[in-house]
Amino acid sequence: MSLPELWSELPAELAARLDPARPWDLLGAPLDELLAALASARIEIALDPRVVLAGDRVAIGAGTRIAPGATLHGPVRIGRDCEIRPGAFLRGGVWLGDGCVVGANVEVKRSILLDRAQAPHLNYVGDSILGRGVNLGAGAVLSNFRHDGCEIVIPAGEERLPTGRRKLGALLGDAVAIGCNSVLNPGTIVGAGTHIYTGVQLRSGVYAAHSLVKLRQTLAIGPRHER
């Protein structure tokens, strides 16, 4: 099964290593090499002393705003004109493009956010790739680990795609929008331009580009009896 359209543009170092049949492999050696090439400290802004820096190789581009209380654990690369809000935790192995937003108390772990991707409100982003212009609604979670700790295998039609990874979150194509309080199970691939509605519990699998995924629910509404 061919995977859906995902990203129109990647950093050159990643584009050269992309295997279209195994895009999750970018989160392995290609990401490590990209981050290993960072200078030990290349910070182009004045940091508030209440921003916590830990580990090695932290790069921050011009025009970026980092609020007091954020924790940046290297290696981490933050591009230009990003916004990192109070309490955000960039946990290491993180690459952010330009114009990205990481919101208050949001945790990002070993992930790639391409230009203008946003995880702005109480999100968890683990072992994932967010395409250009992706937006996560408040409380949306990209889960990255099975309870049994086994390899993550992605259902794809009649096939099952072994990833060789015990931790893998979501691969979201450009301009994907995830509704509030949605949870994407480990090993979810969503094609470019697709919208996931509020409250969806999305099972591992491959979802076509330019689609709508809606939750259908039935409400039982009856009279309220006073005591």
CATH number at residue 116: 2.160.10.10
Active site residue 195: no
Residue 220 domain-assigned? no
* pLDDT tens-digit readout, 108-167: 999 999 999 999 999 999 999 999 999 999 999 999 999 898 999 999 989 999 999 999
Would the pLDDT of 1 be above 70?
no
Judge if pTM exceeds 0.85: yes
Residue 100 domain-assigned? yes
Residue 125 domain-assigned? yes
Q: Where are the alpha helices (DSSP H) in 110-180?
A: none
**In angstroms, rounded to a whole number, what is the distance separating the alpha carbons of residues 66 and 99?**
13
Residue 27 domain-assigned? yes
Residue 142 domain-assigned? yes
**In angstroms, rounded to a whole number, what is the distance separating the alpha carbons of residues 29 and 25?**
8
Among residues 179, 175, 174, the alpha carbon closest in space to that of 197 is found at 179
Residue 217 domain-assigned? no
Is the Cβ–Cβ distance between 92 and 76 less than 8 Å?
yes
Tokens of 142: 């990209």
Domain that holds residue 185: 12-209
**Considering 121, 147, 195, 225, which one is annotated as catalytic?**
121
- Please enumerate in sequence order all residues whose Cβ is within 8 A of that of 146, keeping only pairs 6 or more positions apart, or say none: 152, 166, 186
Number of domains in the chain: 1
**In angstroms, rounded to a whole number, what is the distance separating the alpha carbons of residues 212 and 190?**
11
